Amino acid sequence: MEGWGLHCETLGEELGLYQKPEYKMGQLSMEALRSGRLVVDTGMHALGWSFDRALQFMMDNTAMGKHDAFTEVARYVTWPGQATAYKVGERFIRKLRTMAETELGEEKFDPRDFYDIVLKVGAIPLDTLERLVKEYIQATLEKGAKSEAVVSDADEFLNQMTFASWCKCCIVPGACRPPEST
């Protein structure tokens, strides 16, 4: 989910929201923050950085004041891997979009159809999302009908998402089976 949110932050230019270069400053500042979070997360949890070293890094490399930088470092010292997880999600969605753009070409690729797949199925494992995007690409190439392919692939997946196929220990339907009732 956070990967999707982070991906959305990159769409402002494509949507025509930045008529002047200075309008993009907020987005660029947030990108610096996101990069700083990755460095701090890795520094503290893999390289043994102290809290103070991580705090100084954030202050030196972002537009944050001390209070905000302190809050960020406190967040990541207690939540290892979280910054990395949402960046991986964002990069993976970008990879899938680039794949769809390349394979479908300018004539058949429509970002609205691509995002229908990403949004309609909600929070799912990235390999499942990749499978659905590949199915969307294949169906679009075969049928030449973009929207129908998108709707059928996503609806088929959603139809499998019932409470009966979920258990308490996973969020992937059917990945494990609850014990049979006696």
For the stretch 66-118, pLDDT in tens is 999 999 999 999 999 888 888 899 999 999 999 999 999 999 999 999 999 88
The whole-model pTM stands at 0.72
pLDDT surpassing 90 at residue 151: no
Q: Which domain holds residue 74?
A: 2-82
Q: What's the whole-number mean pLDDT along residues 2-25?
A: 85
* Same structural domain, 8 and 72: yes
Please, are residues 118 and 132 in contact by the beta-carbon 8 Å criterion?
Answer: no
Q: Is residue 76 part of a domain?
A: yes
Q: Is residue 180 part of a domain?
A: no
Q: Is residue 37 part of a domain?
A: yes
C-alpha to C-alpha distances, 167 to 45, 128, 161, 173, 181, nearest whole angstrom: 31, 18, 12, 8, 13
Q: Is residue 60 part of a domain?
A: yes
* Same structural domain, 11 and 61: yes
Q: Is residue 94 part of a domain?
A: no
Residue environment code for 119-155, b if the CB has 16+ CB neighbours within 10 A, otherwise e: eebeebeeeebeebbebbbebbeeeeebeebbbebbe
Q: Is residue 178 part of a domain?
A: no
Structure tokens at 119: 């949004």
Higher per-residue confidence, 119 vs 2: 119
pLDDT surpassing 80 at residue 181: no
* Same structural domain, 7 and 77: yes
Q: Is residue 75 part of a domain?
A: yes
pLDDT surpassing 80 at residue 155: no
Q: Is residue 120 part of a domain?
A: yes
pLDDT surpassing 70 at residue 33: yes
* Same structural domain, 7 and 67: yes
Angle at 138 between CA 171 and CA 3, to 5 degrees: 40
* Same structural domain, 64 and 117: no
Please, are residues 133 and 111 in contact by the beta-carbon 8 Å criterion?
Answer: no
* Same structural domain, 74 and 123: no
Within 8 A by CB and 6+ apart from 136, the residues are: 100, 113, 114, 117, 149, 150, 153
* Same structural domain, 69 and 11: yes
**What's the number of domains the chain is made of?**
2
pLDDT (0 to 100) of residue 166 = 47
